[in-house]
């Protein structure tokens, strides 16, 4: 069900939410986030913001439920791989890479263990929220492993005896440090991206998207 208004999905709460809201404001979109509202109407443009969990954004775009979304490449690639493995729609268009949300997806092990390369992970159990990306990397390396799927507290898995290693997002490294882990392989470098659903857009929506992109270009360039 398509609406006249341009629907943009953004993360409700988390590492991308503040910067994403700021970017939209700097692009001239006026809105007021009140309480726990899921849909927020922009005051000065035909735009509706959908405030959702970041994990849901790739699927909302790939199913064509929303028009635009801002999401980390890590989440986008993971969901894309999972959906194509299941034969579900996984198409989208990347409109532009943004200048925030930088992080890396890395494998980490106990800081006191020795490490000389991916072959040291042979047969190990790896805790992660990104099993598809880990599998892609390990397949490339020709190393087999067992996954341990966790949606949170991944960094405590080795100490809790649930896994031998983890693969999780790292930005400052403080979480690894605090949990006695060391980063041994970077498997993906990620940033936030603006994505668009496939398919037709009305002339009005298309024009609005182009206007937003032009403004975004200006906002990002001004910061460089
Ligand atoms: C990620 C990751 C680590 C943390 C790493 O979590 O799972 O917990 O960030 O960042 P650092 O290197 O700066 O310590 P995120 O904030 O995305 O939240 P989540 O774990 O609840 O998804
Ligand atoms: Zn998430
Ligand atoms: Mg975390």
Task: Show me where the domains of the chain are located.
Answer: 6-101+192-223, 103-190
Give the pLDDT score at 52: 97
- Does the interface predicted TM-score (ipTM) exceed 0.85? yes
Cα(170) to centroid(ligand 1), Å: 7
Contact 201, 209 (CB under 8 A): yes
Average pLDDT over all residues of the chain: 96
Cα(153) to centroid(ligand 2), Å: 12
Residue numbers in the chain where pLDDT is lower than 70: 1-2
Give the pLDDT score at 169: 97
How far is 52 from 9, CA to CA, in rounded Å?
7
> What are the pLDDT digits (tens) for 152-199?
999 999 999 999 999 999 999 999 999 999 999 999 999 999 999 999
Cα(55) to centroid(ligand 1), Å: 14
Q: Do domains 6-101+192-223 and 103-190 have the same CATH topology?
A: yes
How far is 75 from 61, CA to CA, in rounded Å?
13
Contact 41, 31 (CB under 8 A): yes
Cα(209) to centroid(ligand 1), Å: 31
Superfamily of domain 103-190: Periplasmic binding protein-like II (3.40.190.10)
Q: Is residue 178 within 6 Å of ligand 1 at its C-beta?
A: no
Q: Is 98 helix (H, G, I), strand (E, B) or coil?
A: coil
Q: Which of 149, 151, 171 to mutate to test the pocket of ligand 1 (most atoms within 8 A of CB)?
A: 171
CATH of the domain spanning 6-101+192-223, picked from 3.40.1160.10, 3.65.10.10, 3.40.190.10, 3.40.50.720: 3.40.190.10
Give the pLDDT score at 147: 97
Q: Is residue 215 within 6 Å of ligand 1 at its C-beta?
A: no
Give the pLDDT score at 36: 83
- Give me the residues near ligand 2 (ion), CB cutoff below 5 Å: 54-55
Give the pLDDT score at 211: 97
């Amino acid at each position: 069900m398509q609406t006249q208004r341009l629907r943009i999905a953004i993360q409700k709460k988390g590492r991308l939410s503040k910067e994403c809201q700021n970017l939209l404001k700097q692009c001239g979109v006026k809105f007021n986030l009140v309480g726990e509202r899921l849909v927020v109407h922009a005051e000065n443009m035909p735009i509706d913001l959908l405030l959702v969990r970041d994990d849901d954004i790739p699927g909302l775009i790939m199913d064509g439920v929303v028009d635009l979304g801002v999401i980390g490449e890590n989440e986008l690639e993971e969901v894309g791989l999972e959906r194509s493995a299941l034969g579900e729609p996984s198409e989208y268009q990347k409109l532009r890479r943004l200048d925030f949300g930088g992080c890396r997806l890395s494998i980490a092990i106990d800081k006191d263990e020795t490490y000389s390369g991916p072959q040291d992970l042979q047969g190990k159990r790896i805790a992660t929220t990104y099993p598809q990306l880990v599998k892609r990397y390990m397949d490339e390396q020709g190393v087999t492993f067992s996954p341990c799927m966790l949606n949170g507290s991944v960094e405590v898995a080795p100490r809790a005896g649930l896994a031998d290693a983890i693969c999780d997002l790292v930005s400052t490294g403080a979480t690894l440090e605090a949990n006695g882990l060391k980063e041994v392989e970077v498997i993906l470098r990620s940033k936030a991206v603006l994505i668009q659903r496939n398919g037709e857009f009305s002339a009005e929506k298309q024009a609005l998207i182009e206007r937003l992109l032009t403004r975004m270009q200006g906002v990002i360039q001004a910061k460089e």
